[in-house]
Structure 1
Amino acid sequence: MVKPARPDLVVPPKLAPGDRVAIVSPSWAGPGVFPAVHDLGLQRLREIYSHEPFDVPTTRKVGATAQERAADVMSAFTDPEIKAVMASIGGDDQITVLKHLDPAVLRANPKPYFGYSDNTNLLMYIWNLGIVGYHGGSTMVHLGRPGAMHPVTEQSLRTALFESGEVVLAPSPDFTDEHGDWADVASLDREPNMRPGTPWRWGGHAVSVTGPTWGGCLEIVDWHLRAGRWLLAPEAYAGCVLMLETSEEMPSPIFVHRALVGMGERGLLEQFSAVVWGRPKAWDSINRQTPEERDAFTEEQFNTVDRVLDIYHPGVPRVFGLDIGHTDPQLIIPYGGQITVDRIREQVQVTY
């Protein structure tokens, strides 16, 4: 069967203050386990962005079936009173939801969808339908951040929600990959421990390229390399900018190597005009690496990516270390929107 070419990607309408936003849990129903964290995220959507967020039936329903979660996604997209859909959090089985969605109905009702991590599944799915989504945003992580939202995240989400036009990205002055204990409600008042920001790392030919983004969380992209069901033909990604980051599972260099080699052998890596790689999360509550160990983990991951790119796409412009994934703060990036990677000026520009 010949798979379709890349669709014409369309940016859904921007939001206005007072708009209703459906909060869905297409993966893990984290709000049902840690409601205080989710409620804090909802509160900030109301107070900072003047939206009217609300839960769908499965947002807090732990153990909801894939069919139930898919039905709520469909309902959120088709309800004319809802202007955007945002994931509460990620998880590890959203790929099982996709087969229960109706692509024709979603294509006819495009809306901004916000999420990352396991939500790479839905972002990839609606990308195939020609709908630009937003990689980033969740009520339980960056909106529900202890203490306050990071100002970089707050402004980036505001831009994605309300604004159009071009924005030049910049490294954050600080960051963290540590997180508190959600079971300890008192911890929601305490700001996380931050580290000084780091400059981005550049490589590849000194050229400037522009194209639509595609990618997401590497572990989820790897799922799709195995399943093959929701990937288009390699040529459909020609000229796109590959945007990848890794999760709190902290995949080993061997995993990163094998996933990228899989993309290379499929003929995917050679299609992309540039690569944007996120700062990896290098600390977790069950793997509390020291700052020095985290720096070494990050460097080894970047070196691994470099080695594979040099085999399958030598010279492709690349930039490492953007805050586009599981670290804090988080830049919200249009998934399928235009991004310019300028190796000459060492600048990244995003069109919202």
Structure 2
Amino acid sequence: MTIVQPGDTVALVAPASWAEPPAIDETVATLETWGLRVRVCGHVDDRHGFMAGTDADRLADLNAAIRDRDVRAIVALRGGCGSLRLVRELDVAALRADPKPLVGFSDITALHQVWTGVGVPSVHGAPVGDRADDVRKLLMGEPTAAVRSEPKRYGAALTTTGRASGPLSGGNLEMLARSVGVAGPNLAGHVLLVEINRAAGLGMVDRALTQLLLSGTLDDVVGVTVGELLGFDGYVDRDWTVLDVLRDRLGVLGVPILAGLPIGHLDDPVPVPLGVRCELDADAGTLTCSGLQRSQ
């Protein structure tokens, strides 16, 4: 997989929910300031319920971007809902033949699972906001700083001790669980990334983690990184918080946990590369990732 360079073409797709026109314009403008040519796929401003057009149209845009050898990266406009509908019909053979990174997070986690399963790195993040330049650096192979745990961030108390290294994989917890049996890659030897946004009570978190555990998905992960726990600060259900659920479920893995990371559903989340080697140091409170490259 080649690193993206100024002058390259990137495809802007909407595989999940639709974005408002100002968001589309902002994303295009940002990518163009990086010296990239932006190809806005034909259905990004379609609307079909809560999705950006029909499944067939969203899939056609995404597969066209995967198959086009002029396209060197694919950028998802937003998450929302709908990505999981597409995973079974993605042209993975074309992606293997011409690896290119995908940028997005939240619902896009379902697609990240496909990229990870194929062995092609991707970027968990968004190319807009104060952290946009970090996405540019990742795509263009420039060094990025280690992601540091923030002791005051809700959830940081989950951090344990120890170190682990391996490819970083994961994303939104709900989407990881939903991908089991559909698009879930083999995570043996990987460092797991989870971030959670509260759509329901603690039972949602428990069910998702239990599904990942019982399916064997997490059997051989070597470490866990925990990002934003949106909506859970101050939320208590029968004397338990989301931290109790996470300790109870993740604790059985017996691996180092690094929490309190500014990754996930934030206004300006720190982007991280998925599918490339990272070093989790719970003692130092850092997650250090190497640049985009094809995972082995």
| Class of the TM-score when normalised by the shorter of the 2 chains | 0.7 to 0.9
Alpha-carbon deviation of 1:197? 6.2
Residue aligned with 2:192, SS: strand
Q: Does the 8 Å CA contact 1:280/1:327 hold for their aligned counterparts? A: no
Give 2:199's aligned residue. Answer: 250
Q: Which runs of 5+ in 2 are unaligned?
A: 292-296
Alpha-carbon deviation of 1:230? 2.2
Instruction: Give the alignment partner of residue 328 of structure 1, picking from 267, 275, 283.
Output: 267
Alpha-carbon deviation of 1:81? 2.1
Equivalent-residue separation in structure 1 for 2:191 and 2:114 (angstroms): 17
Give 1:8's aligned residue. Answer: none
TM-score (norm. length: structure 2): 0.87
Give 1:308's aligned residue. Answer: 249
Provide the alpha-carbon RMSD of the alignment: 2.4
Residue aligned with 1:46, SS: helix
One-letter amino acid of the counterpart of residue 85, structure 1: I
One-letter amino acid of the counterpart of residue 231, structure 1: G
Cα separation, partners in 2 of 1:154 and 1:96, compared to 1, 3 Å: closer
One-letter amino acid of the counterpart of residue 272, structure 2: I
Alpha-carbon deviation of 1:116? 0.8
Give 2:226's aligned residue. Answer: 277
Give 2:159's aligned residue. Answer: 203
Give 1:55's aligned residue. Answer: 40
1:116 has 2:105 as partner: yes
Give 2:29's aligned residue. Answer: 43
Matches within 5 A, 1:255-266: 255-266=204-215
Alpha-carbon deviation of 1:172? 6.9
Residue aligned with 2:25, SS: helix
Residue aligned with 1:246, SS: strand
Give 1:136's aligned residue. Answer: 125
Residue aligned with 2:43, SS: coil
Instruction: Give the alignment partner of residue 168 of structure 1, picking from 146, 153, 164.
Output: 146
Equivalent-residue separation in structure 2 for 1:262 and 1:126 (angstroms): 21
- Structure possessing the higher radius of gyration over alpha carbons: 1
Equivalent-residue separation in structure 1 for 2:203 and 2:283 (angstroms): 31
1:79 has 2:68 as partner: yes
Residue aligned with 1:321, SS: coil
Alpha-carbon deviation of 1:305? 0.6
Q: Does the 8 Å CA contact 2:149/2:261 hold for their aligned counterparts? A: yes
Q: Deviations over 1:228-282 (max 9, x none)?
A: 13234xxx322211101123x5342111112111222222333111111111222
Q: Deviations over 1:181-211 (max 9, x none)?
A: xxxxxxxxxxxxxxx867944533x322101
Q: Does the 8 Å CA contact 2:258/2:281 hold for their aligned counterparts? A: no
One-letter amino acid of the counterpart of residue 211, structure 2: G
Cα separation, partners in 2 of 1:115 and 1:229, compared to 1, 3 Å: same
Alpha-carbon deviation of 1:166? 6.6
Q: Does the 8 Å CA contact 1:202/1:346 hold for their aligned counterparts? A: no
Q: Which runs of 5+ in 1 are unaligned?
A: 1-11, 144-148, 174-195, 283-293
Q: Detail structure 1 runs of 4+ shifted over 4 Å in the superposition.
A: 196-199
Equivalent-residue separation in structure 2 for 1:198 and 1:99 (angstroms): 36
Cα separation, partners in 2 of 1:207 and 1:320, compared to 1, 3 Å: closer
Equivalent-residue separation in structure 2 for 1:295 and 1:159 (angstroms): 32
Give 1:241's aligned residue. Answer: 191
Give 1:286's aligned residue. Answer: none
TM-score (norm. length: structure 1): 0.74
Q: Deviations over 1:41-95 (max 9, x none)?
A: 2212223x22222310111111222122112112112222222110011121211
1:221 has 2:160 as partner: no
Give 1:188's aligned residue. Answer: none
Give 1:230's aligned residue. Answer: 183
Q: Does the 8 Å CA contact 1:23/1:55 hold for their aligned counterparts? A: yes
One-letter amino acid of the counterpart of residue 57, structure 1: G
One-letter amino acid of the counterpart of residue 269, structure 2: Q
Instruction: Give the alignment partner of residue 296 of structure 1, picking from 221, 234, 238.
Output: 234
One-letter amino acid of the counterpart of residue 50, structure 1: G
One-letter amino acid of the counterpart of residue 73, structure 2: A
Residue aligned with 1:96, SS: helix
Residue aligned with 2:17, SS: coil
Alpha-carbon deviation of 1:28? 1.5
Q: How many residues align?
A: 284
Equivalent-residue separation in structure 2 for 1:343 and 1:133 (angstroms): 24
Q: Does the 8 Å CA contact 1:115/1:134 hold for their aligned counterparts? A: yes
Equivalent-residue separation in structure 2 for 1:229 and 1:347 (angstroms): 32
